[in-house]
Structure 1
Amino acid sequence: MNGVDLTLRALHRGEQHLAKELTTAAERHRADHEVHHVATDLAHWSRENAQRVADVGRDRGLHLGDPPKDHSPGLLSAVRERAAEALVHRPEPALLLLRDLRDLHLGAAQNSLYWEMLGQAAQATRDDALLSVVSACHPQTLRQMRWTNTMIKILSPQALSSL
């Protein structure tokens, strides 16, 4: 197994983890419609990216696992929704959202670095298939980072000074 294979494994895990964390944040902050809907869309992007990484891995003889399943609403989701609605007007949810956004940003940044490394390796080895996947997926990861960064900039002043 070479470095590209190891990086594909790490990126696959990273995209799956980010999809799960985005879905959790979307459920946790369901009362904030923008956060809920955007995080849900971004989670879908990470699931798609994970699938594309798995496909590239399979072409290289790697088995990166089954694709992550979309989370269906259930009892836990209903409890999270009611808790989010009950806490929407208290300052603590804003701090929780900032923490979630920070963690999401760091996860996306980690994935972005893996995409960058794979892109450089694909260019050096003239691996057009890998370069094609990197070119399609990395911009989505960069958009995930821009969204979390923008939300942190918008929410930080009020959330941090209202304590």
Structure 2
Amino acid sequence: MNGVELALRTLDQGERHLTGELADLAERYRAEHEIHHVAADLATWSEEHVERLREAAARHDLDLDTPQDAHFAAFGTSHPATLATLPDPGLLLLRDLREVHLAATRNSLHWEMLAQVAQASKDTALLSLASFCHPRTLRQMRWTNTMIKNLSPQVLAAL
């Protein structure tokens, strides 16, 4: 496995995970209109990132659905979230926003790594992919961070 394959596999897994996290957030907080609508919109961004990653992988003769080797397993992004029993809905929302934020942060780092390997290998198509997707991932991070900043004082002060 080379660095490009490692980066593409990691991002594919990370973006699919983030898509699910955002879709779950949108569904779970349907009554919270800003959470519901923005999370659903941001999930579509990650879905598009997955499609673009799949296209890039195909150009590199990679099948992202094939089993990974030991390098990927050690580098991969699968860190199951610890789900504590939190009875307070505000705490649940903060926990969910935190998990989405951390997933987006991991993806941001991996987009940066893909951009670096693309530059090193002079792969303009991969660099273009990273240049398109990474700013959107940063926007996902900014949204979750803003929501956490806005909700934390009222939720935590009420405990």
Superposed pair shares fold, TM > 0.5: yes
1:46 aligns with 2:43: no
Q: TM-score, length-normalised on structure 2?
A: 0.85
Contact 2:3–2:117, Cα closer than 8 Å, also in 1: no
1:32 aligns with 2:32: yes
Q: TM-score, length-normalised on structure 1?
A: 0.83
Partner of 1:124: 120
Partner of 2:14: 14
1:97 aligns with 2:93: yes
Aligned CA-pair RMSD: 1.0
Residues 137-148 of structure 1: pairs in structure 2 closer than 5 A: 137-148=133-144
1: CA distance, partners of 2:106 / 2:4: 16
2: CA distance, partners of 1:22 / 1:158: 23
Contact 2:15–2:47, Cα closer than 8 Å, also in 1: yes
Q: Following superposition, which runs of at least 4 residues in structure 1 exceed 2 angstroms of deviation? A: none
Please give the secondary structure, in 2, of the residue aligned with 1:61: coil
Question: Aligned residues: percent identity?
Answer: 62
Partner of 1:111: 107
Please give the secondary structure, in 1, of the residue aligned with 2:88: helix
Partner of 1:80: none
User: Alignment length, in residue pairs?
Assistant: 138
Question: 1:159 Cα deviation (Å)?
Answer: 0.4
Letter in 2 for 1:63: D
Letter in 2 for 1:124: A
2: CA distance, partners of 1:45 / 1:11: 13
Letter in 1 for 2:111: W
2: CA distance, partners of 1:120 / 1:6: 13
Gaps of 5+ in 2: 66-86
Question: 1:4 Cα deviation (Å)?
Answer: 1.4
